[in-house]
Chain A
């Protein structure tokens, strides 16, 4: 624009060419004016842009419904006040309510737009952005900018938490802290998946990826999780707690960061996060090793957040399957599935309920697979539900027939986590061949199926062995129409299949071993030995269990008795009733029935009172 002006001015000067002075004066005046005019458009441009932006923001701002504005202000105030209860309410119900109401199909307003409401508080804006991106990832399709920005935001958040001078004074509800870690890993996961589908990308996106460098690289994700763990010294804290040290000693061990609940919880959830990341990258032993200090029981702190609880058990169980420790896997799944069944009634309102149900379903599938591979007398309740849900696959799997492989494959693909190929830091477009993502899953699947195939004869052999106490090898080979030597080798496989490393409940306190520890135990009732060419078989059986039944019924009768005693007596029988009552307490066990009879003398026709 200024160019045009000058030309025009030059043109006018051409016209006024005779008098220099005129020109000077004229041009001075003109230049003044023109200067002004020249400068003004510059100012105008900048301010115009600013004004335009401001107007856009104002517009967007104006479009925010009032309840949402009020909510944001309220939320911000709660965060500033460190009012944990208010923050929890705002986070859990408020955010979801407004999402459903106003933003179910679109994004929440950008952080810049609502900034004036919160006085540009950077911390709150970081937290707000975290929620904003979570919403984008879950309800909408994030594009490459979203992915890069969400990564930067996460980095800012963790930077703020880890690299400020001293621990920050923020307090956030546990559910939110878990969700932060969970979401962080989830975004990393989808980024890796998305990256590997290079063919569908535009050149721009490829360019951005190439320059992206450490965005969502495995090292940075692991770095964050490990740093959180180290800063909060969470492992030391757990060990100290277990050893029963006093609060002062613990405070000294964990330092100033570890004392704040925010950091402690973040450290704790990072351990679970690491468990998950290692499983996704295919390193199962490391995953279990990371969980060394955490005890898997109902009293552990991670049970406070249900989603975390379920996730932990799912990944631990899956690790056990991949390292062939089926009894441990079964035990893990039974524990958590029982818990979920009991909790179902209380949790239907939570928006995570769907996710938990889905995970539970996958765990039923995994349980069915383990049970087919290593049958044992176990919790019938869970076994029944699993068999019902996956009845045809289960039937195929436990028969060890030809289509068992297909059934295993189907369930495995349904239930396994979405494996990852870690992005190569040097070459971001690597791993771009035909669906390497699928390759990772298939690689693990083929390993699992090879194991399954090796054990495919086991159920058949076991069913034969059940029928005999001793059997010649030749005879058994005839039954199976197999070569004797081949069959003997298969018997070794059966023997191998019925032994497994498992955590023995008694010894864990002594060795304080982690989840990888264990001893070899037999998992099957059926046991056999080959002496030259003779197979000797024994079976262990369970004696009749009567104690539970008797105790239950005794307690029930006691309860009935107590209720009866508490009933108001009919007036005419007051003397008799009281007299008889006093004689009852002497031998309640043996005289339960008789005691009842004496009260209802008339009804039972004459059973006299106990002595």
Chain B
């Protein structure tokens, strides 16, 4: 599973060479990586390590820093929760004075706390609160200018919720799931169907298909005695 995180199947070879080699430090390659980010945004793909490479170039060359790119990377990373991608991105963002070469004021300082809030809510699985915050008035700027560009942003957040629900539940009521996904009624039904889950129409409960996480059984970890442990014993017996 981690291998797809390290190298997504959708990553083209040029990007792969760039990320794995020394060329990632070359600022002239920045445009290639930025284009790749826009590609990810438009086609619902995600490549964490390539985006981190962009942030690292910004770290070393503050004069080519582009706050919009940073915000887009952070938005993409939100959808990867509970993986630590968002935190990794923040680790590479240094505090710095507003760079003078920008035409408009730097939007990052105002959006960053908002994004951090959203990430916190997602990590703590507070999904209803997440939707509430996200759809509130204060976040209008974020919604209108940034997340609207990212194709399938809301669906990717729903995926986060689905991952958490799949692991924890075998059956879940529709209202609860609806509140996590910010869907209801027919929207909810069609979404659940698209996941391939069943709805028990009499009670409105949704059945979560079995997976390694939600099948639990009590195990007793038995000790296994292996032959190598007994070699000394047996050889002594044979010798003597």
The residues of A with any CB-CB pair to B shorter than 8 Å are 218-219, 222, 226, 230, 281-286, 289, 322-324, 421-422, 424-426, 430-431, 433, 436, 439-440, 443-444, 447, 450-451, 454, 485, 488-493, 495-496, 499, 501, 511, 513-514, 516-520, 527-533, 536-547, 551, 554-555, 558, 562, 584-585, 588-589
Contact = CB atoms under 8 A, between A and B. Distances in A.
Contacts of B88: 284-285, 322-323
A439 B90 CA distance: 13
Interface string B80-112: 001110011011101111000000000000000
Find the residue from A492, A514, A539, A589 having the highest chain B CB count within 10 A. Answer: A492
Given A226-B22, A451-B87, A501-B2, A421 B94 contact: yes
B220 A491 contact: no
Contact of A454 (B83, B124, B230): B124
B43 interface: no
A585 B215 CA distance: 53
B197 interface: no
B94 to A, nearest CB: 6
A284 B91 contact: yes
Interface string B167-195: 11111110010010000000000000000
A536 B216 contact: yes
B221 A454 contact: no
A450 B116 CA distance: 10
Contacts of B172: 530, 532
B52 A499 contact: no
B56 A492 contact: no
Contact of B169 (A282, A422, A530, A540): A530
B173 A495 contact: no
A499 B168 CA distance: 11
B229 interface: yes
Contacts of A433: 95, 97
B82 A496 contact: yes
B165 interface: yes
Interface of B: 1-3, 5-6, 20, 22, 25, 48-49, 52, 56, 59-63, 82-84, 87-88, 90-92, 94-97, 116, 120, 123-128, 164-165, 167-173, 176, 179, 205, 213-223, 225, 229-230, 232-233, 236-237, 240
Nearest to B87: A447
10 contacts: A283-B91, A322-B91, A324-B82, A422-B94, A430-B97, A489-B127, A495-B168, A495-B213, A532-B205, A584-B240
Contacts of B63: 426
A391 B60 CA distance: 41
A171 B117 CA distance: 56
Contacts of A283: 52, 56, 91-92
Contact of B233 (A439, A488, A532, A555): A555
B157 to A, nearest CB: 15
Contact of B171 (A511, A532, A554): A532
A208 to B, nearest CB: 22
A501 B82 CA distance: 11
Contacts of A544: 223
A585 B240 CA distance: 5
- 6 closest A-B pairs by beta carbon, nearest first, are A492-B125, A282-B91, A538-B218, A540-B219, A527-B216, A547-B225
B164 A496 contact: yes
Nearest to B62: A424
B84 A542 contact: no
B167 to A, nearest CB: 5
A511 B4 CA distance: 13
B59 A551 contact: no
Given A444-B91, A495-B167, A518-B1, 7 more contacts: A285-B49, A285-B88, A491-B168, A496-B125, A538-B216, A551-B230, A589-B237
Most buried by A among B97, B128, B218: B218
Contact of A282 (B92, B124, B176, B220): B92
A83 B220 CA distance: 60
Nearest to A489: B125
Given A493-B125, A538-B217, A443 B95 contact: yes
A543 B220 contact: yes
B97 A542 contact: no
B176 A547 contact: no
A546 B225 CA distance: 9
A547 B223 contact: yes
A511 B3 contact: yes
Contacts of B62: 424, 426, 430
B213 A516 contact: no
Contact of B240 (A454, A488, A516, A588): A588
B2 A531 contact: no
B2 A518 contact: yes
A588 B176 CA distance: 67
Contacts of A222: 25
Contact of B222 (A219, A489, A543, A562): A543
Given A322-B87, A529-B214, A546-B223, A588 B236 contact: yes
Interface centre among B84, B94, B170, B220 (most CB of A within 10 A): B94
Nearest to B21: A226
Contacts of A285: 48-49, 52, 88
B166 to A, nearest CB: 10
A588 B239 CA distance: 10
A542 B220 contact: yes
A541 B165 contact: no
B51 to A, nearest CB: 11
Contacts of B165: 492
A491 to B, nearest CB: 6
A524 B2 CA distance: 20
A194 to B, nearest CB: 18
Given A511-B3, A531-B170, A540-B221, A488 B91 contact: no
Nearest to A533: B173
A104 to B, nearest CB: 39
Contacts of A501: 1-2
Contacts of B205: 532
A421 B62 CA distance: 12
A284 B165 CA distance: 29
Contacts of B220: 540-543
A531 B169 contact: yes
A352 B5 CA distance: 39
Most buried by A among B25, B61, B82, B90: B82
Contacts of B225: 547
Contacts of B125: 489-490, 492-493, 496
Contacts of B229: 547, 551
Contact of A554 (B176, B215, B223, B233): B233
Contacts of B167: 492, 495-496, 499
Contacts of A289: 6, 20, 49
A499 B125 CA distance: 15
Contact of B236 (A426, A496, A547, A558): A558
A566 to B, nearest CB: 12
A29 B52 CA distance: 83
B160 to A, nearest CB: 11
Find the residue from B25, B60, B176, B222 having the highest chain A CB count within 10 A. Answer: B60
A528 B216 contact: yes
Contacts of B60: 218-219, 422, 425
B232 A555 contact: yes
Contacts of A530: 168-170, 172
Given A285-B49, A551-B230, A454 B120 contact: yes
Contact of A430 (B25, B96, B124): B96
A43 to B, nearest CB: 53
Nearest to B219: A540
